[in-house]
Structure 1
Amino acid sequence: MPQALEGLKVLDFTQLLQGPYATQMLGDLGADVIKIEKPGSGDIYRKLTFFNEWIGGDESLCFLPCNRNKRSLALDLKSPEAADVIQRLAREADIVVENFRPGVMDRLGYGYEALHKLNPRLIYCSATGWGPDGPYRDRPGQDLLVQGLAGVVMASGQRSHGPVAVGTALSDQLGALHIVYSVLAALYYREKTGHGQRIEVNLLQSVLAYCMQDFFTVHNGGRSFERPDSGIAHPGNGAPFGIYRTADGYLSIAMNPWPKVVEALGEPDLLRYDDQQVLFDQRDEVFHAIEAVTVTRTTAEWLDIMLALDLWVAPVNEQKDVADDPQVRHLHAFREIEHPKAGRLRVTDIPFRMSETPGDIRRPPPLIGEHSREILEECGLSPEQIDALYEKGTVTTEALTPSPSQP
C-alpha cells in the first residue's frame, strides 16, 4: 500500500533524541530520510547507552530505538568537498531538520538562508533546547535541564522527598512531536502556495505547552501547586487519584465517585471523607486509609472488584511486563525487526492506524554511512567522484566485514 509521506526527501542533521525521533516518525510514514553523520563516530547517541550495555558489539540501546527507516550518509561537513554534496541534496529535498546549537549550521554554510536560495520550496526546521535567541541561547539544552527549569520536576514526587524527574526523556519526545506537527503543517501550506518556510522548535516551549492545564491554573486561578506527601499522582488533585500498593504490586486509581470507591473497598466508615474539599485537604490521610485496605488483596483481585463497579482503575506494570499485557498484545504495539549487527530486535511499532496509507518499518537503524555510496549515486556523482571522496575521508562507510573492494 502507498504511504502518506512517500516521495518526500528529508535531510536529517540531527543527533541524540529530539531530532532523530522526529525524523524517524517521518520515515515511518514513508519519507526517505537521509541521516547525515560524522565519519567514524556518527550520531553522538551511538556512543551513549543505558547500563553501559551494547548490542551486537557496539550498537547503542539509546541510538537504535529512534533511527529506523533512515539511510546514513557519513559526510565530513567541514570539508570543502561536502558543500557540493549538501547543495545537491538540498536542491532535491523537501525537509531539513537540524538540532545543532544556534548558529552552527549558518557557520557551516548550510543554514536556512543558504539552502532556501537553492530551493525555495524547502521546509527547514531548527530544533534547539532553549530557542534560537535570548539569554539562554548558547547554553546547552538537555531533557533533564528543561524539566527542571519548566517546573515539571517540582510537580512530581512527594513533598518530604523533594522533586522528581519524569522517568523518561519527556522534553525530547515532546519536542519531537512539535517538530513533526509543525513540519506537516508547513507541508500543507506548501501544497497550497508552493512556498517553503523556516520552523524553529525548542524543548522549553514544548514542555511548557504540555503543561498547559497546570500553568493555566497557576496564572488564572491564583494558586500554585504543592506536592502531596503521599502517592497522590498530581499536586492539583485530591484523593483517591494515585498509585496504591497491593498485596503483590501496585494499582492506579483515577478520578472516581467516592461512594463507589468505598463500596469497592468494603469499608463504609470511609464515607466520612465524602466531600470534595475534604478529599483534597486531607488527601494524604485518605491515601493512607485507602492503601491500608488495598494491601490486603492482589492487584488482579482489586481489578475484578473495581472494574465490576466501572471504576477507573488499571494495573501498574513493570516495564519488562508491559509487552505481555493483553491490550498491548492485541494492539501489536511491539514488533520485531532484524538489524545487521544487533540481530533480532523488539521495537515499539507505529502508534496509530491509517486505513489508506499505513506506516511501516522498512529499514532497521543504519550503520554509520551504510548508504553513503547509493545516496551519492542518486545525487548524480560519478563513480570516480565518489571514490575520490572516500579516498579523502570526506565520506565513509562502516562495513560489517571489510574486504579489499570496500572503499
Structure 2
Amino acid sequence: MTRPSSPTSSAAAPLHGVRVLDLTRLLPGPLATRHLADLGAEIIKIEDTGAGDYAREMGPPPPGLRDSDSRFFRALNRGKRALRLDLKHPLGKAVLRRLAESADVLVESFRPGVMDRLGLGYEALKAVNPRLVYCAITGYGQDGPWRDLAGHDLNYLAVSGVLERTASTGAVQPAIPSLQIGDLLGGALPAALSIVAALYGARQSGQGRMLDVAMAEVVLTHHMTPLLAEAGAAAPRGEEMLTGGLPWYGVYATQDGRHLAVGALEAKFWAAFCATVERPEWAGQQHLDGAERDALRAAVADLIASRPLAHWAERFATVDACVTPVLTPEEALHLPQFQARGLAGDELRSGAAASPFVMDGVRLTAGGEPPAPGQDSRAILLDAGFAMDEVDGLLAQGIL
C-alpha cells in the first residue's frame, strides 16, 4: 500500500545533491524541474527583476490564501528556492556564470539564440563547468526554419497531426484536449527524463550535454497509430482502431447524458463485457468488418443508452472487462482508488501533493511552500561563496 507523500529533502532521495538552475516560466519547464524537486534535487528558480514568472497570477489562489500566488503556480513550484536576477546587466550575467560553476543542471525555455546573445549559452557555460547538463525546451527545436516561431500547446498539437485526429466521426472540427499534451508529455516529461539520463552520463564521463527538447516533434514521434499505418491508409478521424473504429474500444452515451468507456480490446475482456450485458452472442464477433462492424457498434450504443451511468458503473464495478465510467475532474478527485494512494482532493487542488513518483511504497514530494519572488536571493549567493558585501552591492544596484 502506498504510504503518504514524503518530503524528498533527505539524503535518501534519488537526486539528493543535484543542483538545478531553473530559468523557465509557465508550464513545461517549471513542471520538469518540479519533477526533479520531487525526486530530491535542489531547484533554484531564477526570475527577472521585473514581471518574473507570470504564472503567479494565472488563476485564483487556494481557498483561505487570498494574497497567495495562484494554485497553478503553487503546483508547479513547491519546494524550490527563488532568486531574482537581471541577466541583461553585466553583473547579473557574472552571477549566473558563477552559479553555473557549481550547478549540475541549467534549464531554460527562451527562444533559440537568446541565451547565446546574452553570453550565457551552452558553450559559454560549458567553459566554466564541463559537467553542466544544459536543457533547452522550445516549441520547434534549436534549428530548422521554424526555430524562431512562437507557439503554445495548441499549435504543437496542430502541426504534429494530433489535433486533427481528436475529432470523432462526423464532428465539424477537432476537439481541444483539456490535458496540455505538447507542454506536458512533449516538454516537461522528456526534459526531466533527458536530464536524469544526462546526469548519469556526466557522472560516468565527467562531461555534460546540451539537451534540445522540441515539444512539437516529441508529440509527432509519439503519435504512433497514424504514423505506423500504411502510407495513405490511415483511417478517417474517429475511426482508427483506438479512436472509435472498434465496437469494443470506444466511448458510449448513457441514458442520462453521461458516458461509459469500453476498453475491452482483448477477446477475454470483450467476452466478459458481453456476458455482463447479457449479450453472449456478441462475443464471437470480433472478426467483423465494414457494415457488420458498424451494426454491432450501433447495437452496443443502443444498449448502453438504455440505462443511466450509475447502472453500468455498478454492473461493471467488479467485472474484469476494462469498462469504467467517464468521470468529471471533481469526481476523479474523490475516486476511492486515488484517495487510497494518498491523492487527496483538497491537496491536489492546492498543488500540495500531486507527485507521480512512488518509490518503496512512498510518494516522493518536494517539501516546502512555493517561493516568493527572490526570497532566497541572499542565501543562495552566500551559499555559492559570494561575500556579504558583494551581495549587498548587487541588491543595492537592483541586480537581485
Name the TM tier (shorter chain).
0.7 to 0.9
Query: Which of residues 257, 260, 263 in structure 2 aligns to 1:251?
Result: 260
Within-5 A mapping of 1:191-206 = 191-206=203-218
Distance in 1 separating the partners of 2:145 and 2:376: 40
Separation of aligned partners in 1, 2:75 and 2:295: 42
The residue aligned with 2:4 is none
* 1:183 positional shift: 1.1
1:271 Cα offset (Å): 3.6
Tell me if structure 2 keeps the 8 A contact 1:55–1:61: no
Output the CA distance in 1 between the equivalents of 2:155 and 2:19.
Answer: 33
Secondary structure of the corresponding residue to residue 30 of structure 1: coil
Of 273, 284, 303 in structure 2, the residue corresponding to residue 261 of structure 1 is 273
Tell me, yes or no, if structure 1 residue 365 matches structure 2 residue 370: yes
Q: CA deviation at 1:369?
A: 1.0
Pair 1:363–1:196, CA change in 2 (3 A): same
Post-superposition Cα deviations, 1:324-356, rounded to whole Å, max 9, x if no partner, equal 101001111247669xxxxx9354432132129
How far apart in 2 are the matches of 1:384 and 1:283?
78
State how 1:256-405 maps to structure 2 within 5 Å: 256=265, 257=267, 258-267=270-279, 271=282, 274-278=285-289, 285-306=295-316, 308-334=318-344, 345-355=350-360, 359-395=364-400
Q: Deviations over 1:346-389 (max 9, x none)?
A: 54432132129963321222111121111121122233322222
Choose which of 53, 59, 71 in structure 2 pairs with 1:49: 59
Structure 1 residue 298: deviation in Å? 3.5
Deviates more, 1:12-21 or 1:56-65: 56-65
The answer to whether the aligner puts 1:228 opposite 2:238 as a matched pair is yes
Partner of residue 182, structure 2 = 171
Q: CA RMSD in A?
A: 2.9
Kept after mapping to 2: 8 A contact 1:96/1:122: yes
Q: Distance in 2 between the 1:209 and 1:190 partners?
A: 26
Structure 1: 5+ residue stretches without partners: 339-343, 396-407
Mapping of 1:6-85 within 5 angstroms? 6-49=16-59, 56-57=66-67, 59-85=69-95
CA-to-aligned-CA distance 1:224-262 (integer Å, 9 cap, x gap): 131238xx9933741131122224532211134455433
Matched with 1:184 is 196
Once the two structures are TM-superposed, the CA of residue 286 in structure 1 deviates from its matched residue by 3.7
* Counterparts of 2:241 and 2:353, CA distance in 1: 26
Counterpart of 2:7? none
Structure-2 change in CA distance of 1:69 and 1:209 (3 Å):
farther
Q: Please give the alpha-carbon distance, in whole angstroms, between the structure 1 residues aligned to 2:314 and 2:362.
A: 39
Q: Which moved more, 1:284-293 or 1:209-218?
A: 284-293
Distance 1:262 1:357 in 2: 39
The question of 1:238 aligning with 2:250 is answered: no
- Kindly state the Cα deviation for residue 93 of structure 1 after the two structures are TM-superposed: 0.2
Residue range with higher mean Cα deviation, 317-326 or 357-366 = 357-366
Structure 1 residue aligned with 2:131: 121
Q: CA deviation at 1:62?
A: 2.9
Separation in structure 2 between the aligned mates of residue 380 and residue 216 of structure 1, nearest angstrom: 54
Question: Are residues 1:148 and 2:153 paired?
Answer: no
Secondary structure of the corresponding residue to residue 120 of structure 2? coil
Letter in 1 for 2:263: A
TM-score between the two structures when normalised by the length of structure 2: 0.87
CA offset at residue 75 of structure 1? Answer: 0.9
Q: CA deviation at 1:4?
A: 0.6
Secondary structure in 2 matching 1:252: strand
What CA deviation, in whole Å up to 9, does each residue of 1:258-289 have, x standing for no partner? 55433332356x749924333x6555554443
Q: Deviations over 1:276-334 (max 9, x none)?
A: 333x6555554443232223334343234335553111121110111210100111124
How many residues are aligned here?
Answer: 383
**Secondary structure at 1:132 match in 2:** coil
TM-score normalized by the length of structure 1:
0.85
Which one scores higher on RCO, CA 8 angstroms, separation ≥ 6? 2
- Aligned partner (choices 83, 99, 102) of residue 92 of structure 1: 102
Is the contact made by 2:76 and 2:351 (CA closer than 8 Å) also made in structure 1?
A: no
Q: 1:45 to 1:123 in 2, by over 3 A?
A: same
The 1:86/1:115 distance shift into structure 2, 3 A limit, reads: same
Q: Which whole-Å CA distance do the structure 2 matches of 1:330 and 1:209 have between them?
A: 35
Rounded Cα–Cα distance in structure 1 between residues aligned with 2:230 and 2:86: 48
> Quick check: 1:68–1:361 contact (8 Å CA) kept in 2?
yes
Which residue in the other structure is 1:208 paired with? Answer: 220
Whether the 8 Å CA contact 1:45–1:63 is kept in 2: the answer is yes
Percent of aligned positions that are identical:
35
- Alpha-carbon deviations, 1:92-125, whole Å to 9, x = none? 0000111100000011111000000000111111
Q: Does structure 2 retain, via aligned residues, the 8 Å contact 1:260–1:311?
A: yes
For structure 2, which runs of at least 5 residues remain unmatched after alignment?
1-9
Does the 8 Å contact 2:334/2:345 carry over to 1?
A: no
CA, structure 1 residues 266+355, in 2 after alignment: closer, same or farther (shift >3 Å)?
A: closer
Instruction: Report the Cα distance in structure 1 between the residues aligned to 2:361 and 2:298, rounded to whole angstroms.
Output: 50
